[in-house]
Amino acid sequence: MDVQTAKVTATGTNADTGYDSFKLGGFEFSRDEYFAHIKWPKGTHIIEIDRFLRAMVRDIGWGFFYGWIFFDDIFGTTNHYGTVDIFAGAYDESYKKQGIDHLETFPAEVVKEAFETISRNWINEGYDPLRAPLETGTPIGSKAKESTAPLVRGFTPATRMLGLEGDVPVRSDKTGHPINRAFEDLEFDTPDIECEPGFEGQLHAFNLFDHIARSDVTWNPSITAVTRANICCVTSEEHMLPVIHGNDRNEWFIQLTDEIHWKIADKNSGEPRGRIVMKSGDVCAMPADIRHQGFSPKRCMLMVMENGTPGLEKRYASGELKPYPVNFDE
Ligand code: PHB
Ligand code: FE
């Protein structure tokens, strides 16, 4: 796999809209009032700007996540944990058949810098792609005042556990996170902590629902607890996951409140594999060979369990591990 050495460069400013265009390797990126335009040596693509920016800032914040991030059916990234592919049509049968697909590999840092540079230039004040559409302004229109708000947030992982002394704080009024409008009807009891002498400061508990109810971002799993490679993330979801995630390992979902509708397709071909409606209390394992996208009609709470074992993606890719976690035939 050839790794590109080129970095992102600005290639000019559009006189009508005020936005800059950019080049990274063989990919060119530009935007107008409504759309992002992507070009590569044998093709072009167009993505609605809201979708593009919501996908791009999450891809940065997630550190390119596990496996594939499709911004839509055609364009996206693949994480190789150190390097990242940017692809167009590389997982679409007809693009491949026509020979107009394209894929380039870059150091992860280079893609991060490129995506940050593009997002910064294309995001105006009043629009926050991490918020639910009902809770932010619109990204459409010409360049106005560039937003100076942090591009990504809410990802800071807990070292041991949220709220322990010296660790990431639990969200509260004090941290500037009011209860979201959707969760105002919930009761938020605080747990009693009764500690044996000698263990003060080591035993801890908090109301996780209270913490999630105060999230001001959506589709943005943040690490609340880590036990070796077992990573427990929680997130509040509303509207649609602005990417289609292609798994490179199993993922477990626990639906904590309300419901999410998942569209599930074959990872490589995009052929439909299933629909799942997860309701409060449902648990679901997403296999390692699928791509999926969630739709949440109302804001809800989701727990995502990831297996962070290094090299796991290679063991699934080689077929050493079955793509699903349980075999009911054996
Ligand atoms: C996923 O693709 O598994 C995923 C991504 C973001 C979320 C939840 C699930 O908020
Ligand atoms: Fe996923």
Q: What is the pLDDT of residues 278-316, one digit of tens each?
A: 999 999 999 999 999 999 999 999 999 999 999 999 999
Q: Which of 220, 245, 256, 258 to mutate to test the pocket of ligand 1 (most atoms within 8 A of CB)?
A: 245
Could you tell me where the beta strands, DSSP code E, fall in the chain? 9-13, 20-24, 27-31, 35-40, 43-48, 68-70, 75-79, 83-88, 102-107, 222-227, 230-240, 244-246, 251-255, 259-266, 272-279, 283-286, 290-307
- What does the pLDDT read at residue 159? 81
pLDDT at 71: 98
Rounded distance from Cα 277 to ligand 1 centre (Å)? 15
Å from CA of 174 to ligand 2 middle: 32
Element containing residue 119 per DSSP (H, E)? helix 108-122
Query: How does the average pLDDT of the chain come out, rounded?
Result: 94
Q: Give me 222's structure tokens.
A: 């943040």
pLDDT at 160: 79
Residue 65 has pLDDT above 80, yes or no: yes
Percentage of residues in the chain with pLDDT exceeding 90?
85
Contact partners, residue 93, CB within 8 Å, separation at least 6: 269, 270
Q: What is the pLDDT of residue 164?
A: 85
CA of 245, closest atom in ligand 1: 2
The tens digit of pLDDT for each residue in 188-215 reads: 999 999 999 998 878 889 999 999 999 9
> 28 phi and psi, to 5 degrees?
-120, 140
Give the tens place of pLDDT for each residue, 121-162.
Answer: 999 999 999 999 999 999 999 999 999 998 887 777 888 788
Token pair in block for residue 81: 């944990």
219 lines ligand 1 (CB under 6 A): yes
